[in-house]
Amino acid sequence: MWIVRLALRRPYTFVVMAILILIGGSLAIVRTPTDIFPNINIPVVSIVWAYAGLVPEDMSDRIVSVTERALTTTVDNIEHVESQSLYGTAVVKVFLQPNADIQRGIAQITAISQTQLRQLPAGTTPPLILAYSASSVPVLQLALSGRDMSEQTLNDYGLNFIRTQLITVPGASIPYPYGGKQRQVQVDLNPTALQSKGLSAQDVTNAISLQNLILPPERPRSAPGNTTSPFRMQLRKRLRT
């Protein structure tokens, strides 16, 4: 072994080299930057569509497919697109190239999402567009519970009070609360009775929306001194069947 013979002939050289390797390795360990959550440059933009009552198959055919076709013609630097259709909700994930400008991608996705609303089913609301990367992972989960408090109350506290206080933390990104129940009014329809009167479910929805009319506040004069007193007027009617 030539390296063994060389080490025996020049022992001090190998001792000095071993010391240099030890010192260099120690300095490299100390100076190497470390991060619990390293920055992974894979920009992703999520498009969240919501349409209450639409089954996953219709969400995929009527909303997701239209969105995916529009993205391929208006958004550049797309690496690939993933989508998931749920009951009343559809999530489209647009993975951009690592060197792509995510702000430009968000602007292009927002523009085409607003444009294609007329091509979607009537009543579709604009989507929720979220930007994140592979290094964006949750670091804290907060659960709410309360004695003698309903799920609706806990959901209101988490959405309207606790979330607004946590968002002031530097660098924090707070999602919507998951779980709980939101206050809503459900109307059970009789399809046979609707057909006998020549009505559809959309007609019932329009009739309910017209029962609560909110007018802008006015300021009538209440005294000779040009003082005004604002008031708000709401007109409500009972829904007749």
Domain ranges, ordered by start, for the chain: 2-31, 43-133, 143-183, 191-236
Average pLDDT of span 114-126: 87
Threshold 0.85, pTM exceeds: no
The superfamily CATH assigns to domain 43-133 is Multidrug efflux transporter AcrB pore domain (3.30.70.1430)
> What integer pLDDT is reported at residue 241 of this predicted model?
45
30-71 confidence digits (pLDDT tens): 887 776 666 677 788 999 998 887 888 989 999 999 999 999
Residue 187 Rama label (left phi>0; alpha psi -120 to 50; beta): beta
Check if the beta carbon of residue 70 is closer than 8 Å to that of residue 42. no
Q: What is the dihedral of CA 212, 213, 219, 221, to 10 degrees?
A: -90
Distance CA 58, CA 240 (A): 32
Q: What's the pLDDT band for 73 if we cut at 50, 70, 90?
A: confident
Q: What's the pLDDT band for 223 if we cut at 50, 70, 90?
A: low
Check if the beta carbon of residue 12 is closer than 8 Å to that of residue 58. no
145 pLDDT more than 80:
yes
